[in-house]
Amino acid sequence: MELIFEKDDLLHSLQLVQSVAGGRNTLPILANVLIRAQDGEIECSATDLEVGIKVKVDGTINEEGSITVAAKKLTDIVKELPSDLQVKLVTTANDRVELTCGTGVYKIIGLPDDDFPELPSAEGEGTTIDGETLCAVIHKTEFAASTEEFRYQLNGLYFNLLEDKTEVVATDIHYLALTHCPPIKAPEDIDGFIVPLKAVKEISRTFANSPQVKVLPLKNQLLLSDENATLTTRLVEGEYQSYQTLIRETSPGRVVVSREAILRATRRVALLSNPKSFAIRLEIDPENIQISTETPEVGEAHETVKVDSGTGTVKIGLDANRLTEIFTHIESESVIIEFSGEFEFFIVKPQSEDGHMCFIAPMRLKT
């Protein structure tokens, strides 16, 4: 095999696939990237048997072929090469890869592709989604997903396939983020699926600049593709946590406040909260939100934020870290805060967008 690349084209593709390769897998071949040139196209592929990715690379094929080579080592070398010179990649005897750039020559021991897992192609009708929309629903929800292994069914995003839309949900029980995207088509026996967090992060990286992404749910896996890349992932098995009972038509309390003002005030007050619980108190009335905390071993703080409009009053304890995560992942100048009582879920929504909402469980505070 003999290929010639522009350095930046090769590096971009290697960086997309490298994060999938390796990890804690004990099979040496899975730490490698597969480089294959056939039928006039060059592809880089990597997999850890849970997530797999294939990316097309622009380049010149002087001789077709395939080889696998250590993904991290190859990426590190290409990253350091000068951008103004082309990179020549040649396979030699005994599964060696020779990389030439200017006066530099780098020889890496590779492995034949015989044992490299075959990745599926995104064949089938699927649903085409705007790439920006796909990445946006991930950004608005993934922060709330659980990372605790014993809650494996919550270690991802749940796509609830409804007739008129698809609800995208993440939760760790203590808080929940929900938004929606256009309806996704799936086989009749699939009414929803859970995408693992590792795959969620790779989707954001791989399709960050994609105009359109095809989404194809299958029984145990999900395939996504655009013109240049195909990503496949196993789905998390099991039933997702029920969340529909949290959604209310109306709440007795409701205020509108500047997102930036309440975010910054919450961060400042949280600096003196208990480092074990990050508990703060919000006292809300139709004109103000007072944010406070008192920790005997640390100190105390309070700050008042004016609200734009509001009804109802409440005193409620919340986790400052979770609350700031919610404010950070809302893209709106003002937020709507809804509440029903000190022991009911606290709701935050962007004022400028329907269907995106976040819920946070209250904390019991000393009076």
Indicate the class that CATH gives domain 127-244.
alpha beta
Report whether 335 contacts 295 (CB < 8 A). no
| pLDDT at 178 > cutoff 80 | yes
pLDDT the model gives residue 27: 85
Residue 25's pLDDT band (boundaries 50, 70, 90)? low
- Give the pLDDT of residue 20: 92
| pLDDT on residue 301 | 97
Q: Does domain 249-360 have CATH number 3.10.20.600?
A: no
- The CATH architecture of the domain made up of 2-115 is Roll (3.10)
Residues in the chain, total: 367
Residue 201 pLDDT more than 80? yes
Res 189 pLDDT > 90 = no
| pLDDT reported for residue 15 | 95
Average model confidence (pLDDT) across the chain: 94
Concatenated DSSP letters of 29-98: GGGEEEEEEETTEEEEEEE-SSEEEEEEE--EEEE-EEEEEEHHHHHHHHHHS-TTSEEEEEEEGGGEEE
From CA 43, how far away is CA 66, in angstroms rounded? 9
Mean pLDDT in residue range 162-191:
94
Each residue's pLDDT tens digit, 110-130: 999 999 999 887 677 889 999
Q: Within the chain, which residue ranges are assigned CATH 3.10.150.10? A: 2-115, 127-244, 249-360
pTM for the predicted model, two decimal places: 0.92
Strands 288-295 and 279-284: antiparallel
Beta carbons of 227 and 142 less than 8 angstroms apart: no
DSSP string, 102-145: TTEEEEEEEE-GGGSPPPPP--S--EEEEHHHHHHHHHHHGGGS
Give 37-44 contacts, CB < 8 A, sequence gap 24+. 37/1, 37/3, 37/61, 37/63, 37/64, 37/65, 37/66, 38/64, 38/66, 42/3, 44/13, 44/14, 44/16, 44/17
Average pLDDT over residues 174-183: 96
Q: Which residues contact 24 (CB under 8 A, 6 or more apart)?
A: none
Provide the percentage of residues in the chain whose pLDDT is more than 90.
85
Give the pLDDT mean for 21-40.
Answer: 87
Q: Give pLDDT tens digits for 144-160.
A: 999 998 889 999 999 99
Residue 174 has pLDDT above 90, yes or no: yes
The DSSP bridge partners found for residue 305 are 289
* Rounded average pLDDT over 317-329: 97
> What's the pLDDT at 121?
76
Q: Average pLDDT in the 44-73 region?
A: 96
pLDDT tens profile 202-239: 999 999 999 999 999 988 999 999 999 999 999 999 89
State the pLDDT at residue 100: 97
Q: Which two tokens stand for residue 20?
A: 């999938």
Opening angle at CA 133, ends 129 and 134, nearest 5: 70
Low-confidence winner among 97-106, 145-154, 261-270 (lowest mean pLDDT): 145-154
